[in-house]
Structure 1
Amino acid sequence: MTSPLVLIIDDEPDILELLDMTLRRMNMRTRSATTLAAALDMLREERFDLCLTDMRLPDGDGMMVVRHIQQNCPSLPVAMITAYGSLDTAITALKAGAFDFLTKPVDLQRLRELVSSALRLSSKAEPEPDTAVDDPILGLSAPIQQLRGQIAKLARSQAPLYISGESGSGKELVARRIHALGPRASHPFVPVNCGAIPSELMESEFFGHRKGSFTGAVSDKPGLFQAAKGGTLFLDEVADLPMAMQVKLLRAIQEKAVRPVGTQQEETVDVRLLCATHKDLAAEVAAGRFRQDLFYRINVIELSVPPLRKRREDIPLLARHILTQLAGRNGLPAPKLTSACLEQLCNYRFPGNVRELENTLERAFTLCEGNVIDAEDILLSDIASSSEENLSLGDIDSLEDYLDDIERRAITQALEETRWNKTAAAKRLGLTFRSLRYRLKKLGMED
């Protein structure tokens, strides 16, 4: 088997020699170019498995290399080499399609990790025959087809990615799919709900700790960054991070290193960071609740997941898939949906998105008679339907009861999303823990 071929573009002899020597020790073949013109000629003449390019070249810059590769050989991973501290340049390169970046002076361990990851990506350049079959993101609507195309493209990059979308729209599913299609698929995918970790434990949970560093630390413990080594760390509800933790996360992203609690030694970490929240992160920045510099670092590229109401034509397919899964788990045949039932589902706005569809069908699956689910078996919330602009006061017998229903629904959703962690649910709703306890008691929801 022929060893991989790497194109190195840099006009500094010392850098060329260092990269060439390191790659050859990794059993790679190399070609070197000291100008943009020479590099473009080589790219036209030979097929490479990886390209490493300096930002500054005598007759151009590395961005021209990135754009040329994107247009002419998009399956070729290209990494940018930038001066230390030039993160803005690196982010520009990532947005233009670069796979990853290195800073000078080049860290050889980081270089080896980048090359290994890029070559795994290069080997996946040809689509696998079962990719479509295994796709967990269901739907044939235009928004989903567009999302699927964006996922395939973004899976090839190592750029930090911000996944936006409403609660229940499937942000974690999208993150898992990006991981599965990328070069890190054989390494861990570690999902974290930032709103469910007590603030006093966050630093230890994220970065790990050493034995004896605090009361209860009876042994060394790796953090979430270490657990995701070589893979993907998915930070869900990142807007819920307290300010002090935002500072530490920013440093970890910039330095690609973390410092476990109880030690002065930093550990390098090789992870791809994916973040998500149902909140408007730009609005959180404007309100002073989220650091602007962290926002720029995690929001190199934004991927928006469409709400279910924007792809109603996918509801029948999703509903049948959900019922098939429910039937399989319960050892029963999958019930059929009547046309009246499907019409009712397709006309509903689903403010809770796919998660609400799943909950609705699970109730119907449990309560329906026979093996058929009809319109009357679907208990859709009148609250969400009447929250439209054409709200009919005739639907409201008591304003107090109506508002209590809205409050009960919001609290239930927050509790479900935080796995019934009341502290995290209160934070999600913008309430104090005491205020949430009061409301739970008032609404008859207290245990």
Structure 2
Amino acid sequence: MSQQTVLVIDDERDIRELLTITLGRMDLQVDAVGTVADARRALEERTYDLCFTDMRLPDGNGHEVIELIAAKHPDTPVAMITAYGNVDAAVSALKAGAFDFVSKPVDIQMLRQLVRTALRLAEEKRAGGGAAKAPNAADRLIGDSPAMQQVRATIGKLARNQAPVYIAGESGVGKELVARLIHEQGPRAAGPFVPVNCGAIPSELMESEFFGHRKGSFTGAVSDKEGLFQAANGGTLFLDEVAELPLHMQVKLLRAIQEKAVRPIGAREEIPVDVRILSATHKNLAALVEQGQFRQDLFYRINVIELRVPPLRERRGDVPLLASYILRQLAAKSGGNPGRLLPAAQQALDSYDFPGNVRELENILERAMAMCEGEQIDLADLMLPQRLPRAADATPPPPGMAAPSPAPAQPAAAPTADGGLDDYISNIERTAIIKALEESRYNKTAAAKKLGITFRALRYKLKKLGID
């Protein structure tokens, strides 16, 4: 096998020498140049397995190099060399198409890991590895609609670099599946995929969960603990519901992403970590930035590339395919035959809006299979609501089960109501809670999440306000 080659473009002699020596010890052949013009000549003479380029060069900038390589050598990954802490430059490089970035002063351990990942990517692309994995995406991300074809094509592109990706979409559309596919089709597929629901970790435990801790660093720390970043080292960390991170944790997360290193609680030194960050939320993150609830610099860092996953109502033509797939999966779990949708049931699903998206379709079909006669699913078995339920008009219960007690109707409140300020606030709370319950179809866990409070707090308020 021929020796792999690397092109280094930097006008600082010390950086060129450092990279030449370090990469040479990895059994790589290195060509080092100091200008864009020299880089153009080098790229005309040979094809490289990897390229490093500085952002600022005497006769141009690194973006020119990225564009040149993307046009003439699309299989060659490019890593940008940026000044320490220059987040804008790093983000700009990733948006321009860079595979990753390395900050000055160069951390040798991180550099070596980046090189190994980049070379693995280059080998897979030249061997056609990405194409071999594509059917897996089609098998799991069901749908032939133009919207889903675009999503799958975008996943294939995003898998080929290391840029942070922000996956936007409503609850239930399959954001975690999209994140897994990006991971599985990329050079980190052999590494771990670590998903974390940011809204499920108590605020006081977040730093320990993300970064780990040392034995004795606080009461209860009876042994060293590895954090989520360390667990995802060499792979992908998926931050689901990233909008739920409290502001103090957003600061620490930003530093970990920028420096590619974490400091466990009680540790003296930072630990380098090689992690790709994918994030998602059903909330409007840009709006939260404007409201001061989410840091703009962190948003800028994790939202290098945005991938929107469409809701099911925007791809109604995919419903029959999805339903058939889900029914086969349910049959495989139960050991029976797949259920069959009768025409009236299929027509109802085709016209339903699915506020809960694919997850709701799964729940509807699982419930229908439990309720239907034999394996024939009729319209009544779906138990689809004809309209959004009112507080006293919940989804009809299955036969043989008692209907839930209706919530008492509440009079409209006004600031000058006779009951005073406490009653006015209680009525506002009551209205908000009932609305959240309606929108989540009386799922209390989902309603609490929608309200931004804990399940325990919601349960307390339901009892306090007399909402049955």
Please give the TM-score of this superposition, normalised by the length of structure 2: 0.86
Instruction: Tell me by how many angstroms 1:409 deviates.
Output: 4.4
* Equivalent residue for 1:366, pick from 367, 370, 376: 370
- For residue 164 of structure 1, report the CA deviation from its aligned partner: 0.8
Q: CA deviation at 1:196?
A: 0.6
RMSD: 2.3
Measured at CA, do residues 231 and 415 of structure 1 come closer, stay the same or move farther in structure 2, by a change above 3 Å? farther
Match of 1:379 in 2: 383
Number of the residue aligned with 1:197: 201
CA 1:91–1:405: 2 relative to 1, 3 Å: closer
Can you list the C-alpha shifts for 1:295-322, whole angstroms capped at 9, x where unaligned? 1111111111111111111111111111
Q: Contact 1:167 / 1:278 at 8 angstroms: preserved in 2? A: yes
Tell whether the 8 Å contact from 2:85 to 2:258 is kept in structure 1 after alignment: no
Pick aligned residue for 1:429 from 437, 445, 451: 451
Larger Rg: 2
- Quickly say closer, same or farther: Cα 1:320–1:427, change in 2 above 3 A: closer
How far 1:21 sits from its partner (Å)? 1.4
The whole-number CA distance in structure 2 between the counterparts of 1:68 and 1:91 is 19
**Pair 1:56 & 2:56 matched:** yes
1:368 touches 1:377 (CA, 8 Å); kept in 2?
yes
Q: How does 1:40-439 map to 2 (within 5 A)?
A: 40-125=40-125, 126-128=128-130, 130-135=132-137, 136-384=140-388, 407-410=436-439, 415=444, 426-431=448-453, 433-439=456-462
- The question of whether the paired residues in 2 share the 8 Å contact of 1:16 and 1:32 is answered with yes
Displacement of 1:291 in angstroms is: 1.2
User: Residues 387-419 of structure 1, C-alpha deviation per residue, up to 9 Å, x if partnerless?
Assistant: xxxxxxxxxxx99679898543445676566xx
Cα shift at 1:263: 2.2
Q: Deviations over 1:38-85 (max 9, x none)?
A: 212332332221111111222211100111122222222100111223
Partner of 2:401: none
Q: 1:241 to 1:333 in 2, by over 3 A?
A: same
The separation in 1 between residues aligned to 2:443 and 2:246, in whole angstroms, is 18
Could you tell me which amino acid in structure 1 is paired with residue 44 of structure 2? R
* Structure 1 range deviating more: 125-134 or 5-14: 125-134
Aligned 8 A contact 1:350 1:384 in 2: no
Partner of 1:382: helix, strand, or coil?
coil
Give the partner amino acid of 2:206.
M
Q: Which runs of 5 or more structure 2 residues have no equivalent in the other structure? A: 391-405, 411-430
The CA deviation at 1:443 is: 4.9
Asked whether the equivalents of residues 436 and 450 of structure 2 are also in contact (C-alpha less than 8 Å), the reply is no
1:6 is aligned to 6
**By how many angstroms is 1:16 displaced?**
1.6
Evaluate the alpha carbon distance shift between residue 372 and residue 45 of structure 1 in structure 2; reply closer, same or farther with a 3 A threshold.
Answer: farther
Deviation of 1:382 after TM superposition, in Å, equals 2.9
CA separation of 1:412 and 1:246: change in aligned 2, threshold 3 A: farther
CA distance in 1, matches of 2:347, 2:389: 14
Instruction: In structure 2, give the amino acid aligned to 1:62.
Output: G
Return closer, same or farther for 1:127/1:286 CA change in 2, 3 Å cut-off. Answer: same
CA displacement at 1:13 relative to structure 2: 2.3
Distance 1:223 1:415, change over 3 A: farther
Partner in structure 2 of residue 35 of structure 1: 35
Q: Structure 1 residues 216 and 413, CA, compared in 2 at 3 Å: closer, same or farther?
A: farther
Map of 2:16 onto structure 1: 16
Say if 1:138 and 1:131 are closer, same or farther in 2 by CA, change over 3 A. same
Alpha-carbon deviations, 1:107-158, whole Å to 9, x = none?
1111101101101111220245542331121111111111111111111121
What is the distance in 1 between the residues matched to 2:246 and 2:181?
28
Task: Give TM-score, length-normalised by structure 1.
Answer: 0.90
Distance 1:203 1:146 in 2: 37
| In 1, Cα distance between equivalents of 2:327 and 2:409 | 33
| Partner SS, residue 51 of structure 1 | strand
How many percent of aligned residue pairs carry the same amino acid?
Answer: 59
Partner SS for 1:358: helix
Distance 1:362 1:339 in 2: 18
The DSSP-based 3-state class of the residue aligned with 1:168 is coil
